[in-house]
Every structure is written in structure tokens, then in C-alpha cells.
Amino acid sequence: MKYKRLIIYLLLISLTLTCGCSSQQQRQSIAVIVKATDSDFWQSVRRGVNAAATEYNISVTFEGPENEEDYLKQNELISRAVQNGADAIVFSAIDYYQSANAISAAADAGVQIVVIDSGVNSDKINTFIGTDNYKAGQAAAAAAVECRGRSENMRIGIVNYDRNTDNGRQREAGFRDYISALPEAEVVETVNVDSNTTSATAGAISLLHSHPEINVLVGFNEWMTLGIGNAVQQLGLKDTVTAVGFDNNVISVSMLETGEMDALIVQNPFAMGYLGVQSAADLLSGRSVPDNIETSATTITKQNMFDEDNQKILFKFE
Amino acid sequence: MNKKKPRLRISVFMVCAIAVTVAAAVSLCVAISLSVYNRALMQNSETASEQAVQQTAVAVGNYLGDLKLKLSRISTEISESRTIDEFSDSIAAAARLQRDIESILVYDKNGELLAYGAEDGILKEKNSVNLSFDKTLFEEAEEYAVTPPHVQTLFEGRYPWVVTIAHKQEQKLFNGEVYIAIDFRFSSVAKQIDNVGIGQHGYCYLTDTAGNIIYHPQQQLIFSGLKTEDTSFVPSSADGTQHRDGVLYTVNSLPDSSWRIVGISYIDELITAQTEEMLWGVALSVICCAGVAALISQLFSRIVLRPVRGLVNAMKEFEKNAAGYRYTAPAEKVAELQTLSDSFEHMVGMIQSLMERVRREEITLRKTELKALQAQINPHFLYNTLDSIQWMCEQGENEDAVRMVGALAKLFRISISHGNELITIRDEVKHAQNYLIIQSFRYKNQFTYSFYVDPEIEDCLCNKITIQPLIENAIYHGLDRMVDEGKITVTVKPDGEDILIAVADNGVGMTEEQCRKILQKERSDSTGIGVKNVNDRLKIHFGERYGISIESELDVGTTVTVRIPQLRKEPENEI
């Protein structure tokens, strides 16, 4: 009788093993959930995602809310991805706090979580891939100083987006820390606006109106950069105001050539997308990945914008 | 006995043997099929990689060929145009209609733009940089110059990635040598390359003949240092596939171009995954086999081993208690075992009847032997005694003759004792005394004798004619040759559960060798009962621990001691 029970156990074990083996055969799917899908930045991320998906033979979805404030939509996308059986989620958080529960719930459902670009307040994350935002903020400050040629009498206006977005906070912190170490420079005011060009332009213009002494303007993402560029252009201040921005929107690049913008901190969204999917693929096949992968951020000025390597970073393939 | 030494049991052995055999067989099969499979996989991968790269090469090559064709058509168009404006209009139309043509440009020898046609866009007034014009490359090209991909910087707010194909021409319209160039959108080529996935994990990229990367799907990673791509093998590699460290490298040159497509495919991951899966399969089948083996051994044990074990136990029982064992063959499922059981049953019966027969035969033999021994006492002694009596009568010693005859008569009466083997010690002592009476007449008072018998044990039994041969031995070997008066002492006393009968003399004594010989040898004169016969009889009757022991010292004397058990008179003592 003892033997019979043993045999039944053995059969059960073999059955489970067979199931385990066969389930490995399916093509894995990864859901990429980002802040928006329309900007140049996220299109580059998408290209990176597709490159990795092609290389690793994985099916991916690429989704994001229509505006970069809609964390509720992001949370909905997360739970839908879990329902649809995604094996991994590559995520970039609009709100550092509001998406934490959704991400933790997804991780508890057995989904691997890779965070790119902007962090989320959850300890269930397998790896973070993105720019070192604090360092990028410092690089922006350094670029501003270099473009002015000196640090004296720097009166700085900051145009930033949602206070709860992690990467914006980190960049501003890096920037402020760098500036506070300089004797003759000060940050006059920070305005926080919605993350779109219209709000950013309006915010920058009103900032320049209320503080005419401002001679350095900084924007911490693609839309903020367009905003300050537009403000400088509309007010005709391109020779007096040093404008430092982020990312490589084609209009910002054009403004860099024509002089409204003075420096761009160009991140590597392609790398975020590519490495995000690659890390997720590695996690799914049981390989270990580092906790943190730093993607590069390059300072581009008018002088070096057409260097052969910088071309590849600054200008996108359509 | 089983518990002391754990031995290998057949059922366990069976399970192990089956599992090991099957595991070995499966492993072997898997190893063979895996190697065959891997080879096939490798070939498939190579073919797939070559096909993918070749298709890409053909597509990109066709693309470039197409461009050259267009360039030559435009040249024709120029020669047909009468004015520069007319020409500008026609190339602008061409650029607008062909989506992948970014712009068509005519430069003079120094790179000054003479005419252009573009889809839209405003030409920049001051061109800080024009990446589309490469004077050295254009001049050195034999027919068509093809630039690496670069950003076009001619129009405001537009930075498309293009490849410039240029061709030097003599043109009347522009009064001399001009370069006609087409800036081609590179994204269409890039898409071709981006969309190539080779196998489970792979991609391809574009290099020049020197191995410099022209386009790589992950170039943003490579140029920011997040990834490295080793292209050092490209210049030395012919078109085809090579396999290094689990990676397939496929190189294919584009026709009529200095570009090469390189395909990378990570087959080791695929092979590792397949191998892993196979190993799981092996593990699975081994477990299944172990299960089946357990099942088989269970059946085997029920049908074969349990009866065998029963038989083994039966044999052990039989060993322990051969006489009293009863065995009945149970009904078995296996014919051989049935035969075995039946045979064992038969054998047990046979052995037991044989044992019984041997026992009976031995008893008969002993009885016969005893009778024979008892018979030996008579003749010689009788003749001598009768001679003595005759002599006494002749001499007129009637009184002595009467005593002698009386003693002789008693002697024989006790010897016979109704055919009983066992007689009381009292009778045995009387027998010895009568013998001594006769002998003391014959030896003319050469010795004296005395008896010390414990009255407690006078009713105990002993073999008849036990003491007499010992006295005879004492007289012949101890006293006969003595000058002084001999003395014989017979002592009968209890010793625990036993009785000791000692016959001591003060004769010449014996050496140790003589003592031993007396117990080993039959008497040479073959009359009467020797010491050896007494000893043998005692041992047969009572067992090995009983019998005769002799202590002797030369010129001091000999004591022969008989040890027998205390037996009270019982009616059944028939032996």
C-alpha cells in the first residue's frame, strides 16, 4: 500500500514537470508602460524597445496615457497588462507614490518589474534603468556655467514639471546642489507647470516677466525645454539669456543651432527602451541583472552638435 | 539472523538495476540525439542566419542600385533641361513624388549649391555645416560616391538622416563639371536592418570593408558606451558564416558597394535551452522508470519473493528443529516455486524418516555391542577359577573350595541379573567383592582389599560389570609383579549430582603413556572386559562427560575413577 502511494506521488511529480517544461516554450510577452507615447523622447524609447524585442524574439506592447499627468491611466494599464498575462512590465512612473501599489500588486502576481527613466516608490522592483538624474541635473548646471563662460552674477529661473515626478525632483536637486556651491549664482525662482509645451511656455514667459534679472533659464524635460526656448524666442532674449534644457526634440535641436537654446542634456532614451526589454528578457530566462543600470546623458552644445558620434545621439531615425 | 546483517534484498536490487539501466540507456539516447539535434540546429541556424543576412543584403543592395539608376535618370533630365529653373522644377517634383528622396542637389566643384529640389523646407541662409558634401570622397569616386549615413543640415528645422549618392558630370547647363547628389532618407534602409531578427536571439548591422560600423540597430548604445560590438573580424572574413564561442557571425557583401551586412546570432542560448529541456526529459524519464521499477518489483515481490522468503524461513525453522518440524507446501502462483515447495515438503519427510531409521539402528547396534561385551567376561576367567577349585578339591581344602564355588556362583548371578544392563550399586559392589574373593584365593593372599561405600547411594543404578574390570586391571598390572603385599581400595561416594567410584592400588603404577593406552586399546588377550570397554559403555550410556579417568604414579600406585550420574531405580530403564 505504501508503494502504491509512492507511485502516485511519482506520477504527479512527473506530470508537474512535464507541464513546467512545456510552459517554457511559449513566446514571452512584455508590456512597456510609459508616461506618454507622442513625444520624441518616448518614440526613441519605443525604438529601443522594438530593437530589443526583435533581437530577443519577444512580443511587446508599448502603451502610455495621453497626457503626462494621468497616473490613474498608468495604473489601469498596469493591471490590464497583468490580466493579459504579461510576463514582465517595463514601467516609467508619472507619480513616484501613486503607482506604488499597482506595481507591488503586479509584482505579487509574479510579473517581473523593470523601471526605466523615472522611479516608483516600491521595493518590488527588479532593476532600474535610466539616467542618473541627479548627475544630469549637475551636468545641466555645469553646462550653464560653461555657456556663460563664468559663474558670476548668475540669476537662474527653473521651469519644472510635476513635483511628485521622481526624475524631475532629482534633476532639480542635482542642479541646485551644484549652483549652491558657486558663490555668485543663485536660483531666483522655480515654477512648476503641467508637462506640456503650452504650459511650459506660459510659465517661462511669466517667470521672465516677473523676474527680469533672470539670465539663465533651465527646463528639466523635453516640454520644459521647448517652453523656455519658445519664451526666449518670443521675448527676443536669445543673446542675453542662457537656456539649458533636456532631451533632443527636433525643435529644441533647431533652437540650439539658431541660438535660442545654449545647451541640451541629451539622455539616451533608446538605451532605456532597449536595456529595459533586455533586462526583462534576462529576468524571464532566469539570469540575474544589476539593480541599477545607468544610461548615459551627454551635454550637447552648438559647437559639438554635428560631431559624428553626437549626430547619432542627437538626431533620430524617423 | 536477518536483523544482524542487513543484506541486499532482491526487490531493492531490482529497482536500482532497472532504474540505472534505463537511465543509462536514456542518457545514451539523449546524448546521441542531442548531438545530432545540435548539429541540425546549428545547420538550421546557419542557414537561417545566411538567409536573413542575404535577404537584407539584397534588399539594401537593390535599394542602392535603385538610387544609382535614379541618379543617372536625373542626369539625363538635366541634359534635356534648357534652363536652371526648369530643371529645378523637375527635380523638386521628383523629390516630392519619391518619399525616400529627401532632396536632389547640384553642387559645383567647391560644394556651392547650384540647384536643389526638396520635398519642402526652407533652405538655411547661412550654412554653418553641410554634412552632405564630402569633397574628397566625391572627387576620388570612380563613378558613384556613397557617403556613410549622416544628418542633413540644409533646411531649417529638419535634421533627417540621409545617405548621399553623388556622381560627377560635365553639364552644359551649369557650364562645366558639377556634382549631382541625391540625399536619401536612411531610415528606410535602417528599418530593413532593424527588422531583421535572426533566430531566437540575433540581429544584423552594416559596416564598411574596414569594419567601421555604418549603421547598427543599437548604435545609440554603442556610441554612448553601453554596448560594444567587436567588428575586427569583418575585414578579414570572406562572405559566409563562422561559428565562434556559441555565436554565429554571418558576413555578406552588398553588390557594387563597399558595404557589408554582418549578422549576429546567439545560438548557444538556444542550444543551452534545448539541452536543458532534454536533461529535464531525462530526469523525468528516469523518475518514471524508477516508478515503474518500483511497481514491477512490488509485483515481483508479491508473486515470487514472498513465497521464496517463506521457503527460506521454513528452511531456517527446519534447521533449528529438524525432528519436530512439519511443513505443508502452500499453493503458489509460479510453477517453479510450486515445485520447489513440493520438493521441500518431500525432502523434509524423507530426512525425518531417515533420521528416525538411523536412530533406531544405532540403538540396536549398541544393544548388540553390549551383549557381546558382556559375553566376553566368561571363558578364560572361568577356566582358571575352575582349575583352582579342582586343585583345592584335590588338596582337600574343601572349605575353601566351597567358598570359591559360592563366590563364582554369585558372580555369575549378578553378571546376568535377568539381562538388565543397569543394576544397583549394592549388587555391583557385591559382584566386585565376589571377584576379589576368587582372585585372593588364586593369588594366595598377595594383597588385601577394602570397600568404602556410602550407604546413601547403594540403591543408585550403575552399569553392571563396571568395577570388576578395574580391579582386574589393578591386579594384573599393578599388584602381580609386586614383591610387597598389595592393597586395593574401592570407594563409592556421591559427588554433587554424580557418583564417583574409585579403585585405588599401591602397585607399580603406570606411565602417562600406559594410562592413555589402557583407555584406547582393546585388551590384547581378548578375554573379559577391558578398561576401554567399560569407558566406552559408560560414555554410550550416559554421555561424553561421564567415564573413566586414571591417575597414576610409578612405584606409588594407580587410582582409576569412574564418574556416573546418580540414577535411582525406575521401572522404565530398559536400556
pLDDT of residue B2: 44
CA within 13 Å, CB half, B503: 24
Contact call for residues B561 and B549 (beta carbons, < 8 A): yes
Given a cut of 50, whether residue A21 has pLDDT beyond it is no
Q: How confident is the model at residue B575 (pLDDT cuts 50, 70, 90)?
A: very low
Assess whether B339 and B485 both reside in one domain.
no
| Percent of residues, chain B, with pLDDT higher than 70 | 93
**Fold matches, A27-130+269-295 and A133-267+304-309:** yes
Q: How confident is the model at residue B570 (pLDDT cuts 50, 70, 90)?
A: low
Assess whether B163 and B295 both reside in one domain.
yes
Contact call for residues A292 and A16 (beta carbons, < 8 A): no
Q: How confident is the model at residue A265 (pLDDT cuts 50, 70, 90)?
A: very high
Distance from CA of A296 to the nearest CA of B (A): 6
Candidate ranges A168-172, B129-133, B369-373; pick with highest mean pLDDT:
A168-172
Domain spans, chain A = 27-130+269-295, 133-267+304-309
Q: CA distances (Å), B542 to each of B509, B536, B538, in order?
A: 29, 10, 6
B245 assigned to some structural domain: yes
B2 assigned to some structural domain: no
By the CB < 8 Å criterion, does A15 face chain B?
no
Which residues in chain B touch residue A285, judged by CB atoms under 8 angstroms apart?
A: 269, 273
pLDDT of residue B573: 47
Which residues in chain B touch residue A43, judged by CB atoms under 8 angstroms apart?
A: none
Mean pLDDT score, A45-62: 89
CB contact under 8 A, B201 and A57: yes
Q: Structurally, what CATH architecture does the domain formed by A133-267+304-309 represent?
A: 3-Layer(aba) Sandwich (3.40)
Assess whether B309 and B342 both reside in one domain.
no
Given a cut of 70, whether residue B572 has pLDDT beyond it is no
Give the C-alpha separation, A187 to A192, whole Å: 14
Cell of A24: 517554457
CB contact under 8 A, A271 and B157: no
By the CB < 8 Å criterion, does A150 face chain B?
no
Give the C-alpha separation, A188 to A159, whole Å: 11
For every residue of B214-232, DSSP letters joined together read: EE-TTHHHHHTTS-----T
Q: What is the CATH number of the domain that holds B225?
A: 3.30.450.20
Which residues in chain B touch residue A3, judged by CB atoms under 8 angstroms apart?
A: 294-295, 298
Neighbours of B554 (CB within 10 A): 12
Q: What is the pTM of this model?
A: 0.63
- Helix, strand, or coil (residue B540): helix
Q: φ, ψ for residue A130 (rounded to 5)?
A: 175, 180
Close Cβ partners of B569 (under 8 Å, ≥ 6 residues apart): B424, B459, B460, B461
CB contact under 8 A, A10 and B281: no
Give the C-alpha separation, B485 to B504, whole Å: 14
Give the C-alpha separation, B523 to B532, whole Å: 8
Distance from CA of A270 to the nearest CA of B (A): 6
Q: How confident is the model at residue A171 (pLDDT cuts 50, 70, 90)?
A: very high
pLDDT of residue B1: 41
Q: How confident is the model at residue A81 (pLDDT cuts 50, 70, 90)?
A: very high
Which of B460-469, B476-485, B489-498 has the weakest average pLDDT?
B476-485
Average pLDDT, chain B: 82
Radius of gyration of chain B (CA): 65
Which of B544, B457, B559, B549 is closest to B499 using CA atoms? Answer: B457
| DSSP state, residue B123 | B
Cell of A172: 532639480
The alpha carbon of B400 is separated from its chain's Cα centroid by a whole number of angstroms, namely: 93
Pick the residue of B206, B224, B229, B289 with the most A CBs within 10 A to test the interface with A by mutation. B224
Mean pLDDT score, B242-247: 83
Contact call for residues A275 and A48 (beta carbons, < 8 A): yes
pLDDT of residue B169: 82
Close Cβ partners of A293 (under 8 Å, ≥ 6 residues apart): A127, A128, A129, A130, A275, A279
pLDDT of residue B127: 58
Domain count, chain B: 3
Q: Using alpha carbons only, give the angle B211, B214, B218 rounded to the nearest 5 degrees.
A: 105
Chain A 63-92, residues with CB within 8 Å of chain B CB atoms: none
pLDDT of residue B525: 54
| DSSP state, residue A162 | -
Give the C-alpha separation, B564 to B542, whole Å: 7
Q: φ, ψ for residue B151 (rounded to 5)?
A: -90, 135
Assess whether B115 and B34 both reside in one domain.
yes
Contact call for residues A111 and A82 (beta carbons, < 8 A): yes
Which of B441, B496, B489 is closest to B467 using CA atoms? Answer: B489
For every residue of B464-531, DSSP letters joined together read: SSSHHHHHHHIIIIIITT-SSPEEEEEEEEEETTEEEEEEEE-SS---HHHHHHHHHSPPTT--S--H
pLDDT of residue B3: 46
B353 assigned to some structural domain: yes
Given a cut of 70, whether residue B94 has pLDDT beyond it is yes
Mean pLDDT score, A154-167: 87
Given a cut of 70, whether residue B336 has pLDDT beyond it is yes
- Give the helix/strand (H/E) hosting B293: helix B267-300
pLDDT of residue A6: 57
CB contact under 8 A, A3 and B283: no
pLDDT of residue B571: 55
pLDDT of residue A219: 93
Assess whether B197 and B335 both reside in one domain.
no
Assess whether B303 and B395 both reside in one domain.
no
Assess whether B315 and B331 both reside in one domain.
no
**Full strand arrangement of the beta sheet holding B202-208:** B213-215, B202-208, B259-266, B247-253, B240-244
Which residues in chain A touch residue B220, judged by CB atoms under 8 angstroms apart?
A: 44, 48, 268, 270-271, 274, 312-313
Mean pLDDT score, A224-247: 92
* CATH for A27-130+269-295 (3.30.930.10, 3.20.20.140, 1.20.1300.10, 3.40.50.2300): 3.40.50.2300
Could you tell me where the beta strands, DSSP code E, fall in A2-91?
A: 29-33, 59-63, 88-91
Q: CA distances (Å), B392 to each of A35, B399, B442, in order?
A: 155, 9, 10
Give the C-alpha separation, A215 to A207, whole Å: 11
Mean pLDDT score, B161-174: 84
Q: B258 lies in which domain range?
A: 9-320
Given a cut of 80, whether residue A152 has pLDDT beyond it is no
By the CB < 8 Å criterion, does A292 face chain B?
no
Contact call for residues B149 and B216 (beta carbons, < 8 A): no
Mean pLDDT score, B340-368: 85
Look at the block and give the residue holding cell 593369588: B443
Cell of A225: 525645454
Which residues in chain A touch residue B201, judged by CB atoms under 8 angstroms apart?
A: 55-57
**Full strand arrangement of the beta sheet holding B447-453:** B447-453, B486-495, B498-505, B557-565, B547-553
| Percent of residues, chain A, with pLDDT higher than 70 | 91
| DSSP state, residue B87 | H
Assess whether B152 and B116 both reside in one domain.
yes
By the CB < 8 Å criterion, does A3 face chain B?
yes
- Give the helix/strand (H/E) hosting A156: strand A154-160
Assess whether B297 and B385 both reside in one domain.
no
CB contact under 8 A, B159 and A296: no
Q: How confident is the model at residue B456 (pLDDT cuts 50, 70, 90)?
A: confident
* pLDDT one-digit tens code per residue, B216-234: 888 888 877 778 888 888 8
Which of B334, B369, B404 terminates a domain? The answer is B369
**Full strand arrangement of the beta sheet holding A154-160:** A185-192, A154-160, A216-219, A242-246, A263-267, A297-301
Burial state string for A80-91 with b = 16 or more CB within 10 A and e = fewer than 16? ebbeeebbbbbb
Give the C-alpha separation, A138 to B11, whole Å: 76
Given a cut of 90, whether residue A27 has pLDDT beyond it is no
Q: What is the CATH number of the domain that holds B477?
A: 3.30.565.10
Give the C-alpha separation, B360 to A53, whole Å: 100
Assess whether B499 and B524 both reside in one domain.
yes
Given a cut of 60, whether residue B440 has pLDDT beyond it is yes
Nearest CA in chain A to B159: A315
B374 assigned to some structural domain: no
Given a cut of 70, whether residue A318 has pLDDT beyond it is no
Angle between helices A166-180 and A133-148 (to 10 degrees): 40
Nearest CA in chain B to A17: B284
The alpha carbon of A276 is separated from its chain's Cα centroid by a whole number of angstroms, namely: 11
Give the C-alpha separation, A42 to A30, whole Å: 17
Mean pLDDT score, B105-114: 84
Q: φ, ψ for residue A199 (rounded to 5)?
A: -60, -40
* pLDDT one-digit tens code per residue, A99-136: 899 999 999 998 999 999 888 888 888 899 988 999 99
Close Cβ partners of B274 (under 8 Å, ≥ 6 residues apart): B34, B37, B38, B41
Contact call for residues A88 and A112 (beta carbons, < 8 A): yes
CB contact under 8 A, A54 and B220: no
Assess whether B489 and B532 both reside in one domain.
yes
* pLDDT one-digit tens code per residue, B28-63: 887 888 888 888 888 888 888 888 888 888 888 888
Report the DSSP beta bridge partners of residue A185.
Answer: A154
| DSSP state, residue A297 | E
Given a cut of 70, whether residue A281 has pLDDT beyond it is yes
Radius of gyration of chain A (CA): 23
| Percent of residues, chain A, with pLDDT higher than 90 | 44
Mean pLDDT score, B472-498: 85
Q: How confident is the model at residue B371 (pLDDT cuts 50, 70, 90)?
A: low
Give the C-alpha separation, B21 to B333, whole Å: 28
Report the DSSP beta bridge partners of residue B101.
Answer: B184
Pick the residue of A55, A132, A258, A298 with the most B CBs within 10 A to test the interface with B by mutation. A55
Cell of A101: 501599489
Mean pLDDT score, A22-50: 82
Q: Are strands A185-192 and B213-215 parallel, antiparallel or unpaired?
A: unpaired
Which of B468, B411, B433, B457 is closest to B569 using CA atoms? Answer: B457
Give the C-alpha separation, B344 to B307, whole Å: 13
Q: Are strands A88-91 and A112-116 parallel, antiparallel or unpaired?
A: parallel
CB contact under 8 A, A51 and B194: yes
Which of B369, B399, B431 terminates a domain? The answer is B369
Q: Are strands A216-219 and B461-463 parallel, antiparallel or unpaired?
A: unpaired
Find the Cα–Cα–Cα–Cα dihedral B95, B96, B102, B103, rounded to 10°. 40
Q: How confident is the model at residue B144 (pLDDT cuts 50, 70, 90)?
A: confident
Assess whether B458 and B531 both reside in one domain.
yes
